[in-house]
Structure 1
Amino acid sequence: MKKVQQGFTLIELMIVVAIIGILAAVAIPAYQDYTIRAKLTEAMSVASQAKTAVSEYYISQGSMPADQAAAGLDLPGAYSTDVVQDMTYTKTSDTVGVITMDIEAVGGDTLAGENFLLTGTGTSTNVTWACTAGTIDAKYLPSNCR
């Protein structure tokens, strides 16, 4: 008499569960980093208006604005969103200004108040912006900032 296989054995099921567990252990942290970077892209869009204002001021006046008000930006505290805690501008020299983006806790090991910096350096024709990690882990910076 022939024996008909009725289903999977316990060992086969355990192997499948182990494979799924290994794949999940690798995929979940990578996906979490991806979602945090996507959230920080919103912070970059908030910063773009400040970059434009500072750049226009520099091109028209020949030096960086003295403060946020001179650049035509709202005072600190006006830029709060789900991702952005605050945005501040500081002048470090006549040709260099820094925009600091303080973020909310957006997941992972990020904490509220961590930040990244956009440093604008003026030349005779334009302002070049460089993005660097302040207190936030550099792996969370958006792709256009790394």
Structure 2
Amino acid sequence: MKSSRVQGFTLIELLIVLAVLGLLSAFAMSLYRDYVRRTHVGEGIQLATAARNALGETHGIYGYIYKNVAQGNNFAYALANPREFTGNAVYSITVGETYPNEIVIRYNEKLDLINYREVHMRAISEHGSLRWYCGVYEKNPLSVDIKDLPGNCRNVFDSTGFNQNLAWSGQLMDVPNYTAGP
């Protein structure tokens, strides 16, 4: 009598295949999560282009930028209110809140479980035009993780503010006082 062998996969083989697929999917999910975070950070930097252009135009035409004020200078540059610069993960974009030549991009909970993670963009005057630096503060617990920043935005600034060579050396003008009606 001839013995017949059962064809097909054994239970152990199926479990090994499922384990390998599980590991691959876990790795893929981790990569996708990092990709989504970097995309959200890039969205904020892209939305800040209007603010960068406004500072650049003011500096280019008049030769100065406005002094910083606590609530920001968005209105001085004819920009939307900070919280109106919203995107999928952007909470606000503020010009001149701490430093006159700085734009602060804050993100909502879609970027991270902690609200208001920050990316800073700082301009310096070089030969009549503005050069922009983008990055995060060194010891700021609200800074976006360096791995989530795009390659052109990976400056790490010291905790006393931006590096001394990135301080504003151009002219500053008082923020215009806008009043409604006569």
1:4 Cα deviation from its structure 2 partner: 4.2
Could you tell me the TM-score, scaled by structure 2's length?
A: 0.69
Q: Provide the aligned C-alpha RMSD in A.
A: 2.0
Asked if 2 retains the 8 angstrom alpha-carbon contact of 1:88 and 1:99, the reply is yes
- 1:62-101 to structure 2, matched below 5 A, reads 62-66=63-67, 67-90=73-96, 92=99, 97-101=101-105
Q: Provide the residue aligned with 2:122 in structure 1.
A: 119
Q: Provide the residue aligned with 1:27 in structure 2.
A: 28
Identity %: 29
1:65 Cα deviation from its structure 2 partner: 2.4
Once the two structures are superposed, residues 76-107 of structure 1 have per-residue CA deviations (whole angstroms, 9 ceiling, x without a partner) of 322233321111111736xxx11000111124
The answer to which of 3-12 and 69-78 deviates more is 69-78
**Aligned-partner Cα distance in 2 for 1:131–1:110:** 23
Asked if 2 retains the 8 angstrom alpha-carbon contact of 1:133 and 1:141, the reply is no
Asked if 2 retains the 8 angstrom alpha-carbon contact of 1:114 and 1:136, the reply is yes
Asked if 2 retains the 8 angstrom alpha-carbon contact of 1:58 and 1:65, the reply is no
Q: Provide the residue aligned with 1:103 in structure 2.
A: 107
Could you tell me the TM-score, scaled by structure 1's length?
A: 0.84
Indicate the SS of the match to 2:64: coil
Q: Provide the residue aligned with 1:132 in structure 2.
A: 135
Asked if 2 retains the 8 angstrom alpha-carbon contact of 1:85 and 1:104, the reply is yes
Number of residue-to-residue matches in the alignment: 142
Structure 1: 5+ residue runs without aligned partners?
none
1:124 Cα deviation from its structure 2 partner: 2.2
1:2 Cα deviation from its structure 2 partner: 5.1
Distance change in 2, residues 1:110/1:145 (3 Å): farther
**Aligned-partner Cα distance in 2 for 1:8–1:133:** 53
**Aligned-partner Cα distance in 1 for 2:109–2:150:** 16
Asked if 1 retains the 8 angstrom alpha-carbon contact of 2:119 and 2:136, the reply is yes
**Aligned-partner Cα distance in 2 for 1:9–1:62:** 77
Asked if 2 retains the 8 angstrom alpha-carbon contact of 1:103 and 1:115, the reply is yes
